[in-house]
Amino acid sequence: MKRIRSFDDQTHFFGRIWGIVAAVLILSYPFVCLFLFDAQIDWKTVATGVGVVGLYWVVGAVETFTYTPMLGSGGTYLGFVTGNLSNLKVPCALNCMEQAGVEQGTEEAEVISTIAIAVSSIVTVLILTFGALGLGLLAPVLDNPTLKPAFDNVLYALFGGMAVVYVSKNWKISVLPCAIMLIVFISASFATGDSALAGTLIGVMVPVGVVVTVASARFMYKKGWLGELEAAQPDGQKQTAAADAAEETIASGPSDNAQGSAAVAETAEADKDCESGACESENVQSATKGSEAENVEDTKGAADLQKKK
């Protein structure tokens, strides 16, 4: 009998296949170029880049452990195969989950994350295709010195717009992580004289920023500095919680709950009295009273008959 795979099993099955295929294609590109152009490997140049490659290995491992809980299985496979995680796929997935009002780590969030990353990948491919076809027509616009500063700051504008949405929920949580990240990146740029190092540190500093954020947020929460956390919940979660509370109230009203509690309490007291022998004495007393009442009625009936005679 053929076993039917579940959604998770199919996700991991096809995700691993396409992940391996993508890795083979990416790693085989240099060797294909060597074969086609009959080139030779310059091992000195390769040796100079080993240190940088090792750093990117660390960044890749850190991103895997950081983004997987956020994106879910399907989103992780799709995002790592298509690329552009930190600057495109992750912001797109988080924004869609935020708009849908779902919590990260749930099945709903995984489905929404996978759809968001898939749509983002399709749109990216379409834009790149049209851009490549019309590159000759767009070259004067892209090379225009007046518009060059705008194109250079597109990524910063994207993250700035997202930061406003998340920071506005509770700005106190973002103060310490932002301050630490700014100090680290600015210090690295001044120490080395090269701003490229700061860009390389982004992948490594992401988990550091997560740890600092969680630790500082917990400390402020324990101190009572964050105020009401309900205001920071998405509107979808608020509406869901309110709907659940209303359904529970309708299903079991306050009066029904009170009557049920009183009945349960009376039953428990009666059981305790029976266990202590009080029930038997009450039954004897009620039986005695009943027999006495019957005797009185019989005596009254006999007296009435004698009077009539």
* Domains in the chain, number: 2
Contact 184, 202 (CB under 8 A): no
Q: Do residues 175 and 126 both lie within one domain?
A: no
Establish if 256 belongs to a structural domain: no
> Which of 212, 235, 251 is at the close of a domain?
251
> Which of 133, 161, 194 is at the close of a domain?
133
Q: Do residues 18 and 117 both lie within one domain?
A: yes
> How far is residue 55's CA from residue 47's CA, in Å, rounded to a whole number?
14
Angle, CA of 97, 117 and 205, to the nearest 5°: 80
Establish if 3 belongs to a structural domain: no
pTM over 0.75? The answer is no
Q: What is the CA radius of gyration of the chain?
A: 37
Q: Do residues 122 and 20 both lie within one domain?
A: yes
Containing structural domain, residue 192: 169-251
pLDDT in tens, the chain (309 residues): 566 678 888 889 999 999 999 999 999 998 999 999 988 888 888 887 776 777 778 778 888 888 888 899 999 999 998 888 877 898 899 889 989 999 888 889 999 999 999 999 999 899 888 888 877 777 777 778 888 888 888 878 877 877 787 788 788 888 898 898 888 878 877 776 666 666 666 666 777 888 888 899 999 999 888 875 544 444 545 555 555 555 554 455 444 444 444 544 554 555 545 544 444 444 445 445 445 555 545 555 555 555 554
> How far is residue 138's CA from residue 235's CA, in Å, rounded to a whole number?
42
